Amino acid sequence: MKLRHGAAYYPEIWDPKNVKEDIEKMKLLGLNTMRIGEFAWSSMEPTEGNFDFSWMLSVMDQLYDAGIDVVLCTPSATPPQWLVNKYPECLQMLSDGSRVHHGGRKHTCHNSSVYREKCAIITEEMCKALAGHPSVVGWQLDNEPYPYHDGCFCPICTKAFQKYLQNKFGTVENLNKAWDMCRWSLSYESFETVEPPMANTWHHPSLLYTWMCATSDAIVENLNRQADIIRRYFDCPIGTDMMPMSLLNYTDVHKNLDLVQFNHYNGKEFMGEETSFWYDFIRPIKDAPFWVTETRACWSGGTAAAGGYAPIGFSYANAILPFFRGGSCNMYWLFRTNPSGHELIHGAVLDSAGRLTYTAEDTKRVSDTLAKGKDFFSQGIKKAKLAIHYGQHAYTAFRYASLAEGFQYESFIRNSAHAAARRDNIAVDVIDTYADLSDYDVVVSPMLCMMEEYDFKNRIKAWVENGGTWIVGPFSDFYDENMRRHTDSPSAFLEELAGVYIKWQIPLPDARFDVSWENDTADFVGQYFYEVLEAKDASVLASYKDQPGVAITERKVGKGTVIFVGTGLTNREYSYLYRKCGLLPAAESSENVQVVAHHAGLAVLEVKGAAGYVMLEKPYRDILSGQSYSGKIALTAYESMLLVQE
């Protein structure tokens, strides 16, 4: 496994003299991989049907001669002006009925047959011209695919949505029944009368949810078309660089791709929490180390700097963290600052004059760490026995019905169930409901409001019966596949499996009911949501002090266990449950130090820019410093260690 350290590069902007100088700087900093081509459609096809890849081949030759690999990018995010002028139906229509104009990026119609054809043509022409070049080690499709502005609302997309609904429901009567459209006299006369959720209307949440699912599917189809073309010419991994946003379903996107590529621009306040959460989510999606294809080299922004100052050491920790958490690549956006345009103030490895920016020392430090840690990282990260569900369908449902005002599904999971594992240095995967469960001992499903997709209920039940421990709730299995609440029970599936009766539900964060464990563990206050239970065929673990009922139960099911959680827990309560389930930390440390178990040893990183510590129960040698350690070891700001047992 090659460890990749590089950046996005845009040689179409620069004179050949600049390119030569830039490559020398890449070598100086130890960078070994560059992404090229993602916004260069007009340079590849300056007029319709006339292609020029000579400039690209020249740069690829120079990079290869310098020992630098290339990730090729399809340019479908930025159509040239000749295309949208000749084929205006390719431009996205917003929900207010207006068309966007040429001048930005990601402004096209997902369902336009013309645009799909043009994307296929430029992809195939790239492949024909560049196939066989020895520098190419991978492909990136498009750039940051996402349903921007909640999708395209043009007549083409309207018809595509109507067809999507017909395929899903069969008859309009089935649709009306599934969404209860007789309420408010909303029933559709036919599929042809269904309109997308345009602006200035209070829309049915099931319509909004299904529209977003259809939009996500259309984006996935376009990505798959590009991937299928590339595979006819290249035998190398293909991905698409996704942002930390979940309306585009990560699971569906990657079914036909080879690896997860990920972009983020988190500042120093969020690296330890949010960035680590996303790495734990993208890592288990594919059986291949993930790539960070974009992150800040120093600061982010557009025509103004943003993201906060990065002190010396932060950029190092930010760039090395993906390798610590199971990735094999980190690339900066970008290598050399754009001299003009929408992002002319965005930070980079070099400024627009080709001079090193102030974090160059951190960049070189990353290269040195990877060189020393090559054998360590190549053995891979140890498989987690704990998984936390972060359902992609649930995320979309919460977007359109949050259950409680201000509730944020992702941050709730990140700051509770995931924070407990992260702070206790317990290996954890964050997974969608599609994921295989067979390798896990414990699975946690907080607020998993939808459970109908991917045959999840049958799979989780079989997994529990075979010996797994499922910590589930609150307000899980709240909707069916159409965002309709159950009418036979708040969740008949969970009531039966957990052996409980849900007396009532209270989705109001200000209720703040006290909860008491049955043993000597400290009491706590519930969070966000409350389900007051009766234990029918289950043991009581905790009860409400201010409500006549049970808060947490436990029940043996086959060889396994279901722990039903009736209220939102903080990371402290999840830590208690993890210990109860026998989950062990890689090592004890201060909260600002992350310790990740690899097959080769322990990867240790300070992530907050402060002093910290790690406790080592056995003697270890740090392959970065060459020193030996045991006991309580002090760490300085952004210090890292790769520890192998002596």
Where do the structural domains in the chain lie, given as residue ranges?
A: 4-78+112-147+210-378, 386-580, 588-645
Q: What are phi and psi of 511, to 5 degrees?
A: -65, -45
Calpha distance 78→107 (Å, rounded): 8
User: What CA–CA distance (Å, rounded) separates 492 from 472?
Assistant: 14
CATH topology of domain 4-78+112-147+210-378: TIM Barrel (3.20.20)
Cβ density class 58-91: b for 16+ within 10 Å, e for less = ebbebbeebebbbbbbbbbbbbbeebbeebebbb
CB-based contacts of 112, cutoff 8 Å, min separation 6? 87, 89, 90, 154, 156
Strand partners, 331: 6
CA distance 463 to 479: 22
Picking from 63, 88, 72, the residue whose alpha carbon sits closest to that of residue 39 is 72
pLDDT of residue 520: 79
> 């400290």: which residue's tokens?
522
Position of tokens 């990079």? 63
What span, in angstroms and rounded, lies between the C-alpha atoms of 423 and 416? 10
Asked if residue 29 has a cis previous peptide bond (ω within 30° of 0), the answer is no
- Kindly provide the b/e burial profile for residues 539-553, where b requires at least 16 CB atoms within 10 angstroms of the residue's own CB: ebbbbbeebebbbbb
Helical ranges in 306-347 per DSSP H = 314-324
Residue 220 has a pLDDT of: 97
Taking the C-alpha atoms of residue 187 and residue 181, their distance in angstroms, rounded to an integer, is: 5
CB contact at 8 A, 341 and 330: no
At residue 179's C-alpha, the angle toward residues 178 and 181, to 5°, is: 120
Which residues sit opposite 604 in a β-bridge?
595, 641
Strands 588-589 and 593-597: unpaired
The reply to whether the predicted model has a pTM over 0.95 is yes
What is the DSSP-derived secondary structure letter of residue 43? Answer: H
Q: Give the pLDDT confidence score for residue 521 in this predicted structure.
A: 83
The alpha helices in 266-359, defined as continuous H runs, are 276-282, 314-324
Burial of 453 (C-beta count, 10 Å sphere; 0-12/13-18/19+): middle
Cβ distance 522 to 484 under 8 Å?
Answer: no
- Residue 598 carries which DSSP code? B
Q: What is the largest CA-CA distance in the chain?
A: 77
Cβ atoms of residues 573 and 527 within 8 Å:
no
Would you say the C-alpha torsion 285, 286, 289, 293 has a positive or negative sign? negative
Residues 6+ apart with CB under 8 A from 54: none
Q: What is the rounded distance in angstroms from the CA atom of residue 131 to the CA atom of residue 122?
A: 14
Query: CA 55: distance to chain centroid?
Result: 34
Mean pLDDT, consecutive 10-residue segments, the chain of 646 residues? 97 97 98 98 98 98 98 98 97 97 95 97 98 98 96 98 98 98 97 96 97 97 98 98 96 97 95 96 97 97 95 97 98 97 96 97 98 97 98 97 93 97 98 98 98 97 98 96 96 98 94 91 91 97 93 98 97 96 97 98 98 97 97 98 97
8 Å CB contact between 290 and 282: yes
Q: What is the DSSP letter of 484?
A: -
Pairwise CA distance, residues 576 & 646, whole Å: 32
Q: What tokens appear for 403 in the block? A: 């259950």
Is residue 584 reached through a cis peptide bond, with omega within 30 degrees of 0 on the bond before it?
A: no
φ, ψ for residue 333 (rounded to 5)?
-115, 110
Distance, CA of 458 to CA of 248 (rounded, Å):
25
Question: By the 8 A CB rule, do 158 and 193 touch?
Answer: no
pLDDT reported for residue 1: 87
What are the CA-CA distances from residue 115 to residues 45, 84, 110, 150 (Å)? 14, 9, 8, 19
> If one looks up domain 588-645 in CATH, what number appears?
2.60.40.1180
- The CATH number of 386-580 is 3.40.50.880
Q: Assess contact for 481 and 453: CB atoms under 8 A.
A: yes
- Backbone angles phi and psi of 240, in degrees to 5: -145, 135
Cα(257)–Cα(229) distance, rounded to whole angstroms? Answer: 12
> Residue 483, CB half-sphere, CA atoms under 13 Å: how many?
23
Alpha-carbon Rg for the chain in angstroms: 26
